[in-house]
Amino acid sequence: MLQELSPFLGISLGIQWVLWAVAAILQTEKFYDLAGSGTFILLSHLSLQWSGTNYLRQKIQTALITVWGIRLGTFLFLRILRDGHDRRFNKVRDNPGTFLVYWTVQGIWIFLTLLPSLMLNLEKRNKPLVLVDYCGWSLWAVGFLVQAIADQQKLNFKSDPDNAGKFIQSGLWAYSRHPNYLGEILQWSGLFLSSSSVLRGYQYLSIISPIFVWFLLSYVSGIPILEKQGLERWGEDPTYKRYIQQTPVLWPFKF
């Protein structure tokens, strides 16, 4: 199966590199997230078609990835069209070399995150649906709702002129400073769980998928950047200080 998986890494990187060239010429990041979501969807459907099996478990898994990709990709694309830029790229969009690193990381992220689902879709064996499948899909559903609701709550908050210059601390954001990222982690954890019902041997190493998503969001591209920006903007605000003291960073409880 390792030989079967390698083309998907190549396709993922190839798409990102081609689009990087376009983005570097135009010096824009406006279709970066949309490209990522689209590649997720493409690879999911390609793996399902190449397997030639089309089992119910595989079709459901692929459908969930498609729903996730369409919703999040559309949301992020419309957001960057509205905002005009993504602050993550303020110092890299005009530096082709550094910009390439971002696109390359996205290609690797897509492949690693999809690993359990790719393995599932390429698997020739089939098993009846079991409790693990339903638990995994239920966890995905919880994560999908958490992310979608959090995104919409923040959009509504920022769209209100009375909230200009303020930070959101209501709704799901009262329980976690980054509920949208929590939803993302739950979704990919659920998809690994449902895939695990047919995985075997070394395939269980694909648990790297939710671990990688958690690590990337918690320590690389997500939370650290936003936390730094929050402190720079509201660090002297007593209300913000109280918020970060009382509200967990990610999980809605303290260990």
pLDDT in tens, 98-129: 999 999 999 999 999 999 999 999 998 889 99
Domain that holds residue 73: 2-246
Q: Judge contact between 60 and 191, C-beta under 8 A.
A: no
pLDDT of residue 84: 83
Residue 253 domain flag: no
Residue 255 in domain: no
26: Cβ–Cβ under 8 A, 6 or more apart, which residues? none
Provide the CB-side half-sphere exposure for 67 (13 A, CA). Answer: 18
Judge whether 176 lies within some domain: yes
Is 252 domain-assigned?
no
Give the C-alpha separation, 31 to 24, whole Å.
Answer: 12
- Residue 211, classified by CB atoms within 10 Å of its CB into exposed (0-12), middle (13-18) or buried (19+), is middle
Q: How far apart are CA 130 and CA 136, in angstroms?
A: 10
Kindly report whether the global pTM for this prediction surpasses the value 0.75.
yes
Q: Is residue 142 part of a domain?
A: yes
CA 215 – CA 192 distance, rounded (Å): 16
**What pLDDT shows up at residue 44?**
97
By the 8 A CB rule, do 131 and 54 touch?
Answer: no
Please tell me the number of Cα atoms within 13 Å of 16 on its side-chain side.
Answer: 26
> Is position 251 within any domain?
no
The domain total for the chain is 1
Chain-wide mean pLDDT for the chain? 93
Within a domain: 222: yes
Domain membership flag for residue 254 = no
Please identify every stretch of the chain with a pLDDT value under 70, giving residue numbers as ranges: 1-2, 254-255
pLDDT at 222: 87
